[in-house]
Structure 1
Amino acid sequence: MNEALAMPARSRVAWPWAGLAAVAFLGVTAGVQMSDRGLQSILSPAIRDTFGVGDAVIGALHGIAGILIASALAVPLARLADRYSRKMILLGLIGTWAALTLLGALAPNFPLFFAGRAAAGITEFAMIPIVYSLIPDLVGERWRVGANLGFAALMATGASAGFYLGGDLLHLATGLGDAAGLGHLAPWRRAMLLLALAGVPLLLLGAFTQDPPRQVPVARDLHMSSLAGFVRERLGQLLLFIGAAGGVAVAVQAVTPMIAMAIARRFAVDINGVGHTLGVLILVGNMASLPIAWIIDRSLRERLGPRVRPAIMGVATAIALPCAGLLAFAPSASAALALTGAFLLATCVANALLPTMLQDLAPADLRARAFAGYSFLIAAFCALGPVLSGGLSQYLLADDLLAAIALAAVPVMGLTLVCTFLWCRRR
């Protein structure tokens, strides 16, 4: 009798359907927001021509506007999320993203466009740490890792869709211009307007998602009661964590935002076709990396203990490094895309378990701020990637953007290798 009564309780704990549905919705929403980065990459040549700017400025658009400014201003928003309703803040971020994407598409000059893209990026960066602070409360400890990976998979799907469907959306926007009364706008502007409209149904659906209470921390002490105290308590571990993640972040951002334009320029191929292939590679790389990282983690966790996750990062980065270096010598567009695909898969494996690792470190009532602070520091690394690629291309390598990408990506991955080695030794 007692066993029979216990079974339904275990079932309810094992399958938190409402929480999983909320995670799925949030993943789709973050994926739609992430897709505008891929779309912007496909639109970069048209944006470059419209405003008459060079590779260095386009690199700054992808790095400084799209990442660094956005993540800096996301930190105070995450602080609000640690105190007030996370659901209401998320709904506000979704609506604001749609409005800013719409307004950015209408900017008459590059400084206003740059400011609009930076403002839209704030909403994207603010949303992700809030979601990661929500996930443990939505699904519980048993399903936390799987929910983290599922959310990451949906974000990756959106990011890949931006590349894969960017050319198709541009073509659709071109055809709809006159019919919708938008003939006076450049096609790339119309494509951004269409993407902004996706925020309307997401905002409506978001009203039906869960807003769970925060779990009470298992342990609490005075040293860990603030973000500054948390950092002081775990400083050594956090420095290695950020250094390891930062090296990969620079390399990934040196490659991903600029690679479509680089391949199309060197090999004189259609950027829409390159975007389709990149969309598939990004999706496959992210989707394949999640089960790979999960299986390795589970298989080696008992043998290696806490060292397994930094070890996964180090080995995956060592595999990615030569793939990035060989991009400079790629003999064809197909070879460059193959190297890019291998690089993306390896770096996705390296990054797959980072959210879980930070959740393990941060107390429950500091999670949103911890993720936002971490996002800002990593964003400082990320911003270097496209800025380095664009600057090296324009000022050192005579617009050889593919060689510039390789030169920017390879050295910084050494930082990850050093930090993961020291982390494994230390732990």
Structure 2
Amino acid sequence: MASDIPATPREGRRYRVTALVMLLLVYTFNFVDRQILGILAPTIKADLALTDTQLGLLGGLAFALLYSTLAIPLAWLADRTSRTWVITLSLAVWSAFTALCGVASNFAQLFAFRIGVGVGEAGGVAPSYAVIADTFAPDRRARALAIYSLGIPLGSAAGVMLGGYIATSIDWRTAFIVVGVAGLVLAPVFRLCVREPVRGSDACDREPVRRVFGILVRKPSFWLLAFGASASSMLGYGLAFWLPSLMQRSFGLDLIETAQFYGGVLLLGGVAGVLLGGVLGDRLGARDRRMYARVPAIAFVIAVPLFAAGILSSSVTAAFVFFLVPQALAYVWLAPVITAIQHLVPGHMRATASATFLLINNLIGLGGGSFALGALSDGLAAHYGDEALRYAMLMGLVLYLVAALLMWLASTPLRQDWVDQST
């Protein structure tokens, strides 16, 4: 089959576009399956009689537990075997478990199925980063990774809108089943379209994982970037999960109105922010590598007061405008930081280095974000009632300031830690 023929380095533009589009489509499904739980949370809460804390566990820890820890061994496997096969099988596994979420009848079953979704998605992202890095030249990687990262806002918006419309038209269970089956159909198509790229340093592919760790542990920029991203992701994932509930509780929107509101914010703001980060990363980072960390830091600081204005707003229209800009700024970090991580190790170690970064980012950010806001909302409920979630989100904004500080601190050692790569 054509897909079994290795892709040559820097193949023609048509193939590069095809490969990137397919990777983007898989990543979009990744976030459809994550975000759909957020829009369906109020309906699931009522149907299964759950608390905000339990919902937070479903949105965070249940998914992140094995998603984070399995990412490194699966990336190691991808670095030593076929990255495209690992991505394909991962897509099939997480899609099957997403469909199973539609048959859950209690918290324990839904928790177990969300763990399964996390197991599958553990093998998707880090190998995809490595495939992109091996397919695109260094001076175009930030933009290529930015296009790939569009899967986050596109998938999140699609998950919100599809989940909202299907749940309203039929029920929440059907929404899970539909998106899960769609992912299963996509898996073989992806494998047929994307070839395994030739790697820049195949002679070194057999080096053990501990060597990658040994390199990263001596680079302060890696840890500052990882923990900075974790702080931002903790709030970012928390807001992504709980904002639909806020719009229904505090703004009085129904499920369809919430899907339209938040889907629009994610689509418009998210796409703009991801692309802006890619352009700024390639242009400013080429002049001064510190900008790969400083651009995100500046974006986070600007985002805080705008998010606060949206959270405290009493007008749906004003809230949409206030949320739109900081939503874009919250995504600016993706392409610059991910590009920087790719350049902290030799080329053949990219997938494992990315998985190590994702382990920290997702275990803290994804695992703790939705749970922390949910638990804080439950704790504030006695004093603020239905407005407790609003104030929990407001308090969480300090995490963006922490992220900004860590990113800025990472900028200076980043220049010394950078590994020049011709491939």
Range 278-287 or range 133-142, more displaced: 133-142
CA shift for structure 1 position 279: 1.2
Q: Deviations over 1:189-231 (max 9, x none)?
A: 11111111102331231231211222217999x9997122122
Question: After alignment, is 118-127 or 256-265 more displaced?
Answer: 118-127
Once the 2 structures are TM-superposed, how far is the Cα of residue 64 of structure 1 from its aligned partner? 0.6
Within 5 Å, give how 1:287-366 maps onto structure 2.
Answer: 287-301=271-285, 305-366=288-349
Query: How many pairs align?
Result: 400
Kept after mapping to 1: 8 A contact 2:142/2:282: no
Describe how 1:202-221 pairs up with structure 2 within 5 A: 202-208=186-192, 209-216=194-201
Give the letter for the 1:418 counterpart. Answer: L
Over 3 Å counting, the alpha-carbon distance change for 1:207 and 1:380 in structure 2 is closer
Tell me if structure 2 keeps the 8 A contact 1:137–1:214: yes
Residue 19 (structure 1) shift: 3.2
When Rg is computed on C-alpha atoms for both structures, the one with the higher figure is 1
Alignment of 1:375 onto 2:358: yes
Amino acid at match of 1:90: I
Structure-2 change in CA distance of 1:254 and 1:94 (3 Å):
closer
Give the corresponding residue for 1:198. Answer: 182
Q: Which residue is equivalent to 2:407?
A: 420
Percent of aligned pairs sharing the same letter: 24
Provide closer, same or farther for how the CA distance between residues 102 and 386 of structure 1 changes in structure 2, counting only shifts above 3 A.
same
Please tell me whether the aligned partners of residues 163 and 172 of structure 2 are also in contact (alpha carbons under 8 angstroms). Answer: no
Normalising to structure 1: TM-score of the pair?
Answer: 0.86
CA drift of 1:298 comes to: 4.5
- Alpha-carbon distance between aligned partners in 2 of 1:309 and 1:149, rounded to the nearest angstrom: 13
Match of residue 165 from structure 1: 162
| Residue of structure 1 in register with 2:395 after alignment | 407
Whether the 8 Å CA contact 2:88–2:187 is kept in 1: the answer is yes
Report the CA distance between 1:337 and its aligned residue: 3.0
Aligned to 1:5: none
Unpaired segments ≥5 residues, structure 2: 1-8, 416-423
Partner of 1:114: 111
Matched residues in 1 for 2:14 and 2:306: separation?
41
For the Cα contact (< 8 Å) 1:101–1:192, is it kept in 2? yes
Q: Is the 8 A contact 1:243 1:415 kept in 2?
A: no
Deviation >4 Å, runs of 4+: 217-220, 222-225
Q: Aligned partners of 1:335, 1:264: CA distance in 2, in Å?
A: 16
Q: How does 1:89-100 map to 2 (within 5 A)?
A: 89-100=86-97
Structure 1 residues without counterparts, runs of 5 or longer = 1-11, 175-186
Q: For the structure 1 residues 85 and 419, does the alpha-carbon distance in structure 2 shift closer, same or farther, using more than 3 Å as the test?
A: same
Aligned to 1:231: 216
- 1:329/1:290 Cα in 2 relative to 1: closer, same or farther (>3 Å)? closer
State the superposition RMSD in angstroms.
2.5
1:157-187 CA-to-partner distances (Å, cap 9, x unmatched) read: 1221111232222244x1xxxxxxxxxxxx1
| Structure 2: distance between partners of 1:144 and 1:15 | 16
Give 1:230-309 correspondences, 5 Å limit.
230-234=215-219, 236-301=220-285, 305-309=288-292
Question: What is the deviation of 1:336?
Answer: 2.9
CA contact (8 A) 1:223 1:229 kept: no
- Secondary structure of 2:319's counterpart equals helix
